Structure 1
Amino acid sequence: MQAILILTGPPAAGKSVVQGQFESMGVPVIETSDIIRSDARDSDSFDATDSDELWDFVQHQRELFGESYPTSRVSQQLERVESPLVVLGGVRNDAEVNWVETAFSDARVLVARVEAPQFQRIDRHIDAELQGLASSTAELRETADEIIERESREKPYPNHDVNIYNPDEKQVSTLSEELYGLGTALVGEEAISQPRGSV
């Protein structure tokens, strides 16, 4: 592995969209939230489906294992990657970034913050709620308040090298070319597949 691209940013900013685009270019993606949910399920003490309980679980794990949790748990996964570039999603603080830079000192590490306006992030959450979870306007308002509270408790996000702004609002071809350019700048054109639909 030559490079690790760390994705960070607030909930519903479009990190999954960016990860999906990299996957379509053949770049492996490791998501730390999958590790958190798995660890929480294994603990039997926390509800892995409840975002507040997951937050409490992460805080508990950080008290036990340090601020680099959960990123410090991906070491074996990162070591098995044979691709020159890997995307690491869900990184929340500088301690996690520092852990990656120390543990994989031979790799180039770049931190990209995925960002979108708060009103769009709230709209995305509400749209998800409307697709089956929320049963009243009061619940939707509560969801918006919960999102704002969650964002404030998760700050500050790690220092970052580049911004990927509002990926959900971009044409897929524009986003693909932007991310392809970022990936090839890290590891070269031969190492990444052309985005689908590119000439």
Structure 2
Amino acid sequence: MLVIVITGLPGSGKTIASDMAREMGLPVITMGDVIREEASRENISPSKASIVLRLRGGTRFVADRILQKIPRSDVVVIDGARSIREIEAIEDALSTKVVLVYIVAPWRQRFERLLSRGRSDDPKVIEDFLMRDLRELRYGLGDLIARADYILVNDSSIEEFKDRVRKLLNSLLTLNNAP
């Protein structure tokens, strides 16, 4: 089984990469959906739910929930890992090595993207944006860049980034089918 995990700071382009995977017919599971489902269930904000879930359930909680949603497939894409512990949980449960793709983008572009996408938990001012980045990095997101198998830079047009994602996914699929 090929497990591709996409990670990166908010606004870096994870959703675009996941959408490209879906367009290619790959199943995609989004870790943020678990957070939003729990937030809705407990009637709290998604940003608060993220903290509460990890405090209550441990560093592998979200990954453990995601594993329950993985379809039977030769390939699966997981969007939104935040820590090495989540990667380890996925690798342990599926007895396979994860291919980790880290997406980076300049902070100003990420902030502008978050302002324009309109999710309720997106920061509206630069201070909130910086605090969110700090929180994400404290979860362990920064450590994942050292573990990344591939780093995609999203600093140009959406079409150029989509092309980079498509090429990487095709390359990974080709390598997975190689003898």
> Could you state the TM-score of these two structures normalised by the residue count of structure 1?
0.75
Corresponding residue to 1:160 among 148, 156, 159:
148
Who is 1:61 aligned against? 53
Who is 2:39 aligned against? 40
Q: Distance in 2 between matches of 1:69 and 1:167?
A: 32
Aligned partners of 1:14 and 1:168 also within 8 Å: no
Who is 2:110 aligned against? 121
Who is 2:74 aligned against? 84
1:75 matches 2:63:
no
Q: Which amino acid aligns with 1:126?
A: L
Gaps of 5+ in 1: 48-53, 134-139, 190-199
Mapping of residues 172-183 of structure 1, within 5 Å: 172-183=162-173
Q: Distance in 1 between matches of 2:29 and 2:39?
A: 18
Q: Distance in 1 between matches of 2:102 and 2:163?
A: 20
Residue 66 of structure 1 deviates from its aligned partner by 1.1
Paired positions, count: 167
Q: Percent identity?
A: 25
Residue 167 of structure 1 deviates from its aligned partner by 7.1
| Alpha carbons of structure 1 residues 115 and 73: separation in structure 2 relative to 1, 3 Å | same
**1:35-64 per-position Cα deviation (integer Å, ceiling 9, x unaligned):** 1111121123x13xxxxxx23222222222
Q: Distance in 2 between matches of 1:86 and 1:167?
A: 26
Q: Which has the larger radius of gyration?
A: 1
> Could you state the TM-score of these two structures normalised by the residue count of structure 2?
0.83
Residue 183 of structure 1 deviates from its aligned partner by 3.1
Q: Which amino acid aligns with 1:43?
A: E
Who is 2:9 aligned against? 10
Q: Distance in 2 between matches of 1:18 and 1:3?
A: 16
Q: Structure 1 residue runs of 4+, over 6 Å off?
A: none
> For the aligned residues, what is the CA RMSD?
2.2
